[in-house]
Each structure stands twice: as structure tokens, then as C-alpha cells.
């Protein structure tokens, strides 16, 4: 593939595929790198969830991987060229932009970055085995499944406190487990959580094991007090990780402007610091992080790319 593409899209979550649908329907024949990085599987964070109930248009809900399959088919239907390959480097220093994958160089007049973000995890084997079965990194997505149940939230930042507070709408009890004895979250959010009778706290502790992968559900956790070293087991029905996200922006360091946490800086919708390079979805959004907002920003990026191409062709 030596020709110069109009649009190269990097990433295959809701943002990337939505950008592809719009770009393809504008006859731009986008080339989309689906990537293999996350567990050898394209499709973004929705591939790691079970049922999605908050994506409009699916009143009965839909499984995350099935939703991604539909996104993919819709992008393909209008002529998107899909490559199940990781991009290994980019060069945005001159146009056409260069994107390298599988040792081959691809050229594009414009690039849309939709590489997403990854939730941070504790790194214990049982959390992986139980993802989608009671272990989640998104309370907005999965809180509803814990009506009348007891859950734990791990973390001490704004997300952890916000998610713990949100979960009290459904759960009978929420226990926030934090590795220190003071929260990092803003004062107002702390006050909201500490005054909520459904929330209690376990300080100076971390979860070392989540049981029980053999039953494919969460039954309890093993806690370790980091000050005393003591371990204990506590019953729970679900565990929500809220220990931050990492934007998948490593590839773009020194190419476009990133903020202190690595999120891509965008202005006027989806414009990055390099004209012709656009970003959408969670790689530029630490605030909303929803499939629907990612899809919306993917649409914006495609429209911005289309306008950029029109303008640069005179």
C-alpha cells in the first residue's frame, strides 16, 4: 500500500470506528489500524466489559464485544480498510504524515488518533480472571448490576470517591479501600463520601486477592494492611478499581502536545498541536470516558479531518 491515504485512523474503540464511519461515508476511504496491543485483541475497553446498558439505541442492552463488532461492521460497510496491526511509530514532522506498522510505512494526508486509555489495575491475577464478572473499572457502566449488593472501591482520588458515592444508588453498602490513611480527592467530594452512611473506609490497605475465579463471581477479597502487614478476608459482591487511567499516547510523545498526565491536548473540537492530526475518545478525555462520548468525539474528528482536507486541497 504505497499510495497516500486521505485519512489514517489509529485505534478501534467507539471513537476510531465512528471516525471511520464518517470518513468512509465522505468517500475518504480511511485506513484504520485496529491494533493488537491489549491482550491481542482490538476493540478497546468495551471488549473487557460484559453488558452495556447505557449506549443509546439498545433498550435491552448489548454485550460490549458484540457492540464493538457492530461498530466494526458499520465502518467496513462504507469501505474502511481495516488492518489488525499495531502502529509502532509515527512521524508527524512533515506532510504527508508517516505511520509505521509491521515494518511498513504508510502515508496519510491526515491522521485521527483514537488509541484510548487503559484503566490501571492492581496487577493481581484474580482481578483479570474476574473482569466482567464482578470486577470492573467503571462504576457508571456496571454499578447498576449491584442493586442491593455489597461492593468495594479501590483508590483514594476523585474517581474513587465519585464512584463510591455513585454506587450507593444501587449497592446496600460501599467500602472504599485506600492504600494510605488520607484521601487524595477534593475536599467537597471527600465530605460527600464521609457523610454518606452507606460508605465506610478501610485505610492503609490493599487487595491482594479477589475470590473466587473458579465460581466466575466475586465472593470476597483478601486485604493486606500496609502498615502492620496483617491480612484479613472480607466478603463482597463486587470490586471497582478507581486507581487512575493511563492514556495510550506513548507513540505520540515528542510528536504532538500532551498534558502532564499524557492526555493529548486538543482545541476546537479535535485539533491537536499539529494541523492535520486529530484526536478523539479517551486518549484526549479524562473527564467523561464513556463509549457514547468517545463515539461523538470520533464523529467530530472525522468532520474536522474532512474540512482540513478540503481546505488544504484549496
Stretch that binds ligand NAP, among 143-151, 223-231, 240-248, 274-282 (CB under 6 A): 240-248
Set of cell numbers at residue 55: 449506549
* Gap between the Cα atoms of 196 and 183, Å rounded: 15
Residue 80 CB neighbour total at 10 angstroms: 24
Residues 6+ apart with CB under 8 A from 127: 121, 135, 210, 239, 241
Contact status: 156 vs ligand NAP (CB under 6 A): yes
Torsion 56-58-62-68 (CA) sign: negative
Set 6, 86, 102, 138: catalytic member: 138
Q: How far is C-alpha 245 from the geometric centre of its chain's CA atoms?
A: 8
- Residue whose CB is less far from ligand NAP, 101 or 206: 206
Set 91, 102, 141, 204: catalytic member: 141
Contact status: 157 vs ligand NAP (CB under 6 A): yes
Nearest Cα to Cα of residue 10 among 267, 268, 264, 288 = 264
Contact status: 136 vs ligand NAP (CB under 6 A): no
Q: Is 141 a catalytic residue?
A: yes
- Residue whose CB is less far from ligand NAP, 5 or 205: 205
Q: Quick check: 241 and 135 in contact, CB under 8 A?
A: yes
* Gap between the Cα atoms of 251 and 15, Å rounded: 18
Residue choice 95, 98, 179, 198 for contact with ligand NAP (CB under 6 A): 179
Stretch that binds ligand NAP, among 77-85, 105-113, 158-166, 218-226 (CB under 6 A): 158-166
Nearest distance in Å: CB 186, ligand NAP: 7
Contact status: 155 vs ligand NAP (CB under 6 A): yes
Q: Is 280 a catalytic residue?
A: no
* Gap between the Cα atoms of 154 and 81, Å rounded: 40
Size of the site for ligand NAP (CB under 6 A): 18
Nearest distance in Å: CB 119, ligand NAP: 9
Contact set for ligand NAP, span 64-93 (CB under 6 A): none
Nearest distance in Å: CB 227, ligand NAP: 13
Helices 14-25 + 64-77 axis angle, to 10: 20
Binding interface with ligand NAP (CB under 6 A) = 120, 122, 154-160, 162, 179-180, 184, 206, 242-244, 286
Amino acid at each position: 500500500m504505497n499510495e497516500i491515504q486521505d485519512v489514517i485512523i489509529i485505534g478501534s474503540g467507539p471513537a476510531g470506528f465512528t471516525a471511520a464511519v464518517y470518513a468512509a461515508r465522505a468517500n475518504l476511504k480511511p485506513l484504520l489500524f485496529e491494533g493488537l496491543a491489549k491482550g491481542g485483541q482490538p476493540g478497546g475497553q468495551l471488549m473487557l466489559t460484559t453488558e452495556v446498558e447505557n449506549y443509546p439505541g439498545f433498550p435491552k442492552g448489548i454485550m460490549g464485544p458484540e457492540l464493538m463488532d457492530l461498530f466494526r461492521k458499520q465502518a467496513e460497510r462504507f469501505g474502511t480498510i481495516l488492518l489488525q496491526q499495531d502502529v509502532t511509530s509515527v512521524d508527524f514532522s512533515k506532510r504527508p504524515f508517516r505511520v509505521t506498522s509491521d515494518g511498513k510505512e504508510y502515508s496519510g494526508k491526515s491522521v485521527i488518533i483514537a488509541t484510548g486509555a487503559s484503566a490501571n489495575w492492581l496487577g493481581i491475577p484474580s482481578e483479570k480472571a474476574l473482569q466482567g464478572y464482578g470486577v470492573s473499572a467503571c462504576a457508571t457502566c456496571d454499578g447498576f448490576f449491584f442493586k442491593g449488593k455489597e461492593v468495594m472501591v479501590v483508590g483514594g482520588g476523585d474517581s474513587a470517591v465519585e464512584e463510591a458515592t455513585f454506587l450507593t444508588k444501587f449497592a446496600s453498602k460501599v467500602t472504599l479501600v485506600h492504600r494510605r490513611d488520607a484521601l487524595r480527592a477534593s475536599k467537597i467530594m471527600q465530605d460527600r463520601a464521609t457523610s454518606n452512611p452507606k460508605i465506610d473506609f478501610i485505610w492503609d490497605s490493599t487487595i491482594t486477592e479477589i475470590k473466587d475465579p473458579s465460581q466466575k463471581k466475586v465472593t470476597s477479597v483478601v486485604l493486606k494492611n500496609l502498615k502492620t502487614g496483617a491480612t484479613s478476608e472480607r466478603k463482597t459482591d463486587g470490586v471497582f478499581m478507581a486507581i487512575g487511567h493511563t492514556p495510550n499516547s506513548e507513540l505520540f510523545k515528542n510528536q504532538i502536545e500532551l498534558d502532564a498526565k499524557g492526555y493529548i491536548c486538543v482545541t476546537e473540537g479535535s485539533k491537536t498541536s499539529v494541523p492535520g492530526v486529530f484526536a478523539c475518545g479517551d486518549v484526549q478525555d479524562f473527564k467523561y470516558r464513556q463509549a457514547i462520548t468517545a463515539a461523538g468525539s470520533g464523529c467530530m474528528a472525522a468532520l474536522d479531518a474532512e474540512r482540513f482536507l478540503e481546505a488544504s486541497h484549496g
